[in-house]
Structure 1
Amino acid sequence: MTFIPSRWARPVALIAALCAVSSCAVLPRSGPTKREIYAGSVQREGDAFVVAINDRVTRATAVIPALGFSEQFLRAGPVGSDVIRPGDTLSLTIWENVDEGLLASEGVNYTSLSAVQVDGAGFIFVPYAGRIRAAGNSPEAIRRIITEKLADQTPDPQVEVVREAGDGASVTLIGAIGGSGVYPIERPTLRLSGMLAAAGGISVAPESALITVVRGNQRSTIWFQDLFDDPRYDIALRNGDRILLEEDTRSFTVLGAAGTQSVIDFESQTLSGIEAIAQAGGLRANSADPTGVFVFRNEAEEIAEQVLGRSDLTGAQRMVYVLDLTQPNGMFMARDFLIRDGDLLYVTEAPFTQWDKTIAALTGSLGSVNSLTSLGE
């Protein structure tokens, strides 16, 4: 085997190493460079609008899905806790002012009728009084009706009507709550907050809890915290309401030269750009480019038109928002810009990072060169 003369070995090997490194299409990196992202903009015949974040852009994109109860929920007043409904259970006690009454046994002047259930049509049956309309009446009204019905058959009857805890008016609670189940609407649970407390409270962090109330074909959702911040949201409940407690499922993705690369859940109702960066572990001090922090988003047509000052767009648009944290107000822009569900936060690497990788690749190649030339000598 013939080796290259030692005086030519290193120059030739160096040239070979440079050619090998320069022939590599892309050195190892975390994603596209800032220049490559700009190259894909609509302004350069790409398919995404790249927009620098400023006060106007911040205002136009500050769109948060509105949560709150509809007017139908807010206007509903509390139901009477003593109003009888189909399915309720009543206890009746009837006293008669005679030795041998209509209902009482011999030697007893009263009769107890327990667990008298209001049927689906809203009626109960009382011997000698017949079918009586109970639904929609209070126990006092039912007492008067029974008394009048029996007065013609037994002298001076005395009647007591007590509503027991029945299943006539109830709501269903499911999800992230202490005790899922069906709960009756009673005096302490006429409103939403009382019902949640009776069910054991929520089992997730209050700041990320959502409450959805379904009533017939109506559906409204609020933040749990809003229930206590705004007394109007402590709505009166109705028979058949379904209440769902769930944790906020919004998230955003972080890639590039940030402290972590993952999908991160929202920790509050609103999340700013600077908070998102903090949740991602900040920027990598040894590789991140603070002038190239990008937010990728599919923006609704009307918002995209406001951001771009145009009126000729059709459908959702691919938008890439740029944060430059080195600008005098860059941190303020990052603080005011809102992150939304599904956003991609991408931090580019600083240019010198690629240079370092090139040098590292060359250093490794030259180390092999030295080994090679040592063998040739």
Structure 2
Amino acid sequence: MTAFLSRNLAARASMLASLIFLTACAALPRSGPNKPEIYDGAVERGGDAQVIFVNDHVTRASNFTPAYGFSNSFRNASAVGADEIRAGDVLGLSIWENVDDGLLTSLGASSSQLQQIQVDSGGYIFVPYAGRVRAAGSTPDQLRQVITTRLSEQTPDPQVTVTRVAGDGATVSVLGKVVGQGVYPIERPTRSLSAMLAKAGGVAIEPEIAVVTVKRGNSTGKVWLTDLYAGASNDIALRPGDIILVEEDQRSFTALGALGGQTRVPLGNEMISAIEAIAMVGGLNSNLADPTGVFVLRDEPEAVASKVLGKPVYGSQRMAYVLDLTRPNGLFLARDFYIRDGDTVYVTEAPMAQWRKRIGAVVGTIGSVNSVQNLAN
């Protein structure tokens, strides 16, 4: 009876071992698809991705990097006149009269001070005895002449001075990662983008990752902060109503597969090659990675895809660029192939890694069987 039970348990253990073995071989854990599975997604095999082996032509054709910079409409805009009066500005008037009892002066006084006169939305101010005077578009001196002419009809030889304080009519909004957000007037020292950023206290993040966006009406332009200071052409003149936004660059790529790390990686403002991208996440996993199966996955614009494929295509294309680092020039090609915003860098597992996993699964299964048999005995 005991021998029968032992044989029964042994048979069940053998059956259990077989099931575990088959299951382990069919569904081993892994970091993603292998090379043949990616190749099966190629257009030539009925898939929807263009699988392209990287060579010198591909690196030249695909190394298109959208650059930040201002359009000619931003660069050619003239600087705001430092003395030009606009609606919303605040003016101060001083009026002297050559009579003891003047129109505007009190008895015994020689002058009258009219301070904090704001230019209305139509561009006008009101001056007693001169009436409603258009101020917007004039300089303080031009406005002084107009007011003097009108007062001359009421009092002999009036003397007028006009001072201007920038107001709501010539301001920009500075937002985002700056020390002091706010609405700032465009004055003589702050008529350029760099000067206005300095007025706001400078940026509050690392300059190397700072992007400055300027919104003007329906147009928008952006530039790296480092490029702003490197080239005078990017230091554009500001216009009333501009919105300046400083933010951290959001461009990134994703690293997956048999790498030292799987994560989303910021690109920064540098040109990152495939080799640098791999290094940024700890390099290839020496126990798992297949150096012949380094893929860069991206949606390629129509114009770039046509150049890479050597034939016209329509619409954006899903591209799977293949880098074989074991080829004589493989490392050089990877060094010359640049990563773009939104790319996925994926490294497949080596066949040997899968084989080791199967062996590990079998060894583990045998250990389980032995344990069951020991119990049976």
How much has 1:270 moved relative to structure 2? 2.8
Change (3 A) 1:71 1:267: closer
CA distance in 2, matches of 1:333, 1:310: 22
Match of 2:326 in 1: 326
Please list the CA deviations of residues 105-143 of structure 1 after superposition, one character each: whole Å capped at 9, or x if unmatched.
111111111111112222222222222221111111222
Per-residue Cα deviation, 1:312-347 (whole angstroms, up to 9, x for no partner): x33322211111122222222112111122211111
Query: Which residue identity lines up with residue 210 of structure 2 in the other structure?
Result: A
Q: Distance in 2 between matches of 1:291 and 1:153?
A: 93
Distance 1:243 1:172 in 2: 6
Preserved contact between residue 173 and residue 242 of structure 2 (Cα < 8 Å) = yes
* Separation of aligned partners in 1, 2:41 and 2:119: 71
1:28 aligns with 2:29: yes
Alignment pair present for 1:337 and 2:333: no
Asked if the contact 1:254/1:344 (under 8 Å) is kept, the reply is yes
| Partner SS state of residue 338, structure 1 | coil
Distance 2:306 2:146 in 1: 68
Partner of 2:314: 314
In structure 2, C-alpha distance between the alignment counterparts of 1:40 and 1:71, rounded to whole Å: 43
Q: In the TM superposition, what is the alpha-carbon distance from 1:16 to its structure 2 partner?
A: 6.8
Give unmatched runs, 5+ long, in structure 1: none
Structure 1 residue 284 corresponds to structure 2 residue 285: yes
**Residue 3 to residue 305, structure 1, CA distance change in 2 (3 Å):** farther
Give the Å deviation of 1:30.
1.0
Deviation of the 1:4 alpha carbon? 5.4
Deviations 1:341-374 (CA, angstroms, capped at 9, x unpaired): 2211111112221121112111112212322333
**Counterpart position of 2:138:** 137
**Partner SS state of residue 346, structure 1:** strand
Maintained 8 Å contact 1:18/1:362: no
**CA shift digits 1:250-298 (9 cap, x unpaired):** 2222111111112222222432211211222211122111111111122
Are 1:207 and 2:197 counterparts? no
Q: Is the 2:228–2:235 contact (alpha carbons within 8 Å) kept by the matching residues of 1?
A: yes
Report deviation, 1:5: 6.3
- Give the number of aligned pairs: 374
- Structure 2 match to 1:192: 193
Alpha-carbon distance in 2 for matches of 1:130, 1:375 = 111
Map 1:204-353 → 2, pairs under 5 A? 204-311=205-312, 313-353=313-353
- C-alpha distance in structure 2 between counterparts of 1:87 and 1:361, whole Å: 78
CA offsets per residue over residues 210-236 of structure 1, 9 Å max, x none?
222222222222222221122011111
Query: What are the within-5 Å matches in structure 2 for residues 49-88 of structure 1?
Result: 49-88=50-89
Cα gap change, 1:350 to 1:82, in 2 (>3 Å):
same
SS, match of residue 198 in structure 2: helix
In the superposition, the TM-score normalised over structure 2's length comes to 0.91
**1:42-90 alpha-carbon deviations (Å, 9 max, x no partner):** 3334332221111111111111223221212111121211111111111
In the other structure, the counterpart of 1:178 is: 179
Structure 1 47/102 Cα, relative in aligned 2: closer, same or farther at 3 Å?
A: closer
TM-score between both structures, scaled by the size of structure 1: 0.91
Distance in 2 between residues matched to 1:89 and 1:3, nearest whole Å? 104
Identity percentage of aligned residues: 56
1:188 is matched by which residue type in structure 2? Answer: P
Write the letter of the residue equivalent to 1:197.
Answer: A
Question: How far does residue 93 in structure 1 lie from its aligned partner after superposition?
Answer: 1.0
| Separation in 2, partners of 1:237, 1:168 | 13
Measured in 2, the distance between the counterparts of 1:237 and 1:94 equals 34
**Maintained 8 Å contact 2:51/2:319:** yes
**Structure 2: how far apart are the matches of 1:221 and 1:268?**
13
Match of 2:101 in 1: 100
* Displacement of 1:18: 5.9
Any gaps of 5 or more consecutive residues in structure 2?
A: none
* Superposition deviation, residue 164 in structure 1: 2.0
Structure 2 residue aligned with 1:43: 44
CA RMSD of aligned residues (A): 2.4
Whether contact under 8 Å (1:14, 1:366) holds in the other structure is no
Cα separation, 1, equivalents of 2:37 and 2:29? 15
Divergent runs of 4+, >6 A? 12-16
- Alpha-carbon distance change, 134 to 40 in structure 1, aligned in 2, over 3 angstroms: closer
Instruction: Pick closer, same or farther for the CA change 1:314–1:164 going to 2, 3 Å.
Output: closer
Measure, in 1, the Cα distance between the counterparts of 2:125 and 2:7.
114
Aligned letter for 1:193?
S
Tell me if the contact between 2:191 and 2:238 (Cα under 8 Å) persists in the aligned partners: yes
Partner SS state of residue 26, structure 2: coil
For 2:131 and 2:47, the matched residues in 1 are separated by 82
Note if contact 2:257-2:348 (Cα within 8 Å) is conserved in structure 1.
yes
CA gap of 1:101–1:47, structure 2 versus 1, over 3 A, is closer
Q: What does residue 362 of structure 1 align with?
A: 362
